Amino acid sequence: MGQVTNIVVAGLGGQGVLKATDVLAAVALRAGYDVKKSEIKGMSQRGGSVTGDVRFGTEVLSPMVPPGEADFLVVLEPTQVDAHRYLLRPGGILLSPEMIDLDKLANKKGLNVAMLGALSVHLPMLESDWHKVLAEQFQQKFHESNLQAFTVGRQSQQKNPGS
Partner 1 sequence: MLLSGNEAIALAAWHAGVALGAGYPGTPSTEILEAFSELGGRAQWSPNEKVATEVVLGVAFGGARGLATMKHVGLNVAADPLFTAAYTGVSGGMVIVSADDPGMASSQNEQDNRRYAVAAGVPMLEPSSSQEAYDFALAAFEISERWRLPVLLRVTTRVSHSKTVVVPRDRNGPPRNPHFERDVRGRVMIPANARPAHRRLRQKLAEIEAWNETSEFNYLVPGDTSLGIITSGISFMHAREAAPHASVLKLGFTHPLPMKKIAEFVRRMKRVVVIEEGDPYLVEACRAAGLAVEGKPEMYRFGELSVARVRRILNGDTSPEPVPPPGKPPQLCDGCQYRQVFDVLRKRDCIVAGDIGCYTLGVLPPFEAMDSCVCMGASIGVGLGLRHVLPPDQARRVVSVIGDSTFVHSGITGLVEMVYNPPPHGHVLIILDNLTTAMTGHQEHPGTGRTLKHEPTGQVRFEDLARSLGVRNVHVVEPRAGSDEFERVLDACLNSGELCVIIARRPCLMIAKRLKELELTGAQTKDRR
Q: Which residues of the chain form contacts with partner 1 (CB under 8 A)?
A: 1, 12-13, 22, 25-26, 29, 34-49, 51, 60-64, 66-67, 79-80, 82-84, 86
What is the smallest separation between the CB atom of 103 and partner 1, expressed in angstroms?
Answer: 25
Transcribe 20-86 into DSSP letters.
HHHHHHHHHHHTT-EEEEEEE-GGGGGT-EEEEEEEEES----SSPPTT-EEEEEESSGGGHHHHGG
What is the smallest separation between the CB atom of 63 and partner 1, expressed in angstroms?
Answer: 4
- Of 59 and 101, which has the nearer Cβ to partner 1? 59
- Which contiguous run of DSSP H or E holds residue 134? helix 127-137
- Of 34 and 127, which has the nearer Cβ to partner 1? 34
CA 24 – CA 120 distance, rounded (Å):
9
What is the smallest separation between the CB atom of 43 and partner 1, expressed in angstroms?
Answer: 4
- Of 66 and 124, which has the nearer Cβ to partner 1? 66
